[in-house]
Amino acid sequence: MLPGILPGGITLQYSGVSVKIETEQKLEIVQRLLVAKKADEIEVIDLRGRTLIADYFVVCSGTSNTHIKAIADGLIAEGKDEGLKKDRVEGYAQACWVLVDYGDVVVHIFAREEREYYDIESLWKATVAKLEIRE
């Protein structure tokens, strides 16, 4: 095993060497990329022990359909460069609610109106935490 890499998470191949990305590492990469793409109101919902759907939902907003697509495009492309493998993407064509599924981390990118309407944060209210940006 490589130094600093912990077991668990997803397995990647780099020059024949297996590297695993922990769920928390994946979450940090996603958060950093969303901040870089100027996503608004980023919130992390901790689902561990509450459902088998995922360990975390990351919910954010875009200011327009173009911005929502740019957030999704950046997350997918730059995430891939950092070793993240998406399972699927839903809602991209409409760009009102784009879901990017990384298995244990699922990202929801909403238009403001859809985010208010669906209000998924309140469904999981007990475990919502505001993103703390680390410098």
102 closest CA partner among 13, 10, 20: 10
Domain boundaries, the chain: 23-130
Superfamily of domain 23-130: Beta Polymerase, domain 2 (3.30.460.10)
List, edge to edge, every strand of the sheet that includes 105-111: 88-90, 97-101, 105-111, 56-62, 40-46, 128-130
How many whole angstroms separate alpha carbon 102 and alpha carbon 45?
15
Reported as a single tens digit per residue, the pLDDT across 18-46 is: 455 789 999 999 999 999 999 999 999 98
Q: What is the mean pLDDT of the chain?
A: 84
Q: Is 82 exposed, middle or buried (0-12, 13-18, 19+ CB in 10 A)?
A: middle
Reported as a single tens digit per residue, the pLDDT across 82-101 is: 989 889 999 999 999 999 99
Residue 50: its pLDDT value, please?
Answer: 85
Provide the pLDDT confidence category of residue 131 given band limits of 50, 70 and 90: low
Alpha carbon separation from 16 to 7, 9, 84, 112 (Å, rounded): 17, 18, 17, 44
Residue 63 CB contacts under 8 Å (≥ 6 apart), including other chains:
40, 112
Reported as a single tens digit per residue, the pLDDT across 46-84 is: 898 888 899 999 999 999 999 999 999 999 999 999 989
Residue 93: its pLDDT value, please?
Answer: 93
Q: What is the pTM of this model?
A: 0.79
How many whole angstroms separate alpha carbon 34 and alpha carbon 113?
19
Provide the pLDDT confidence category of residue 126 given band limits of 50, 70 and 90: low
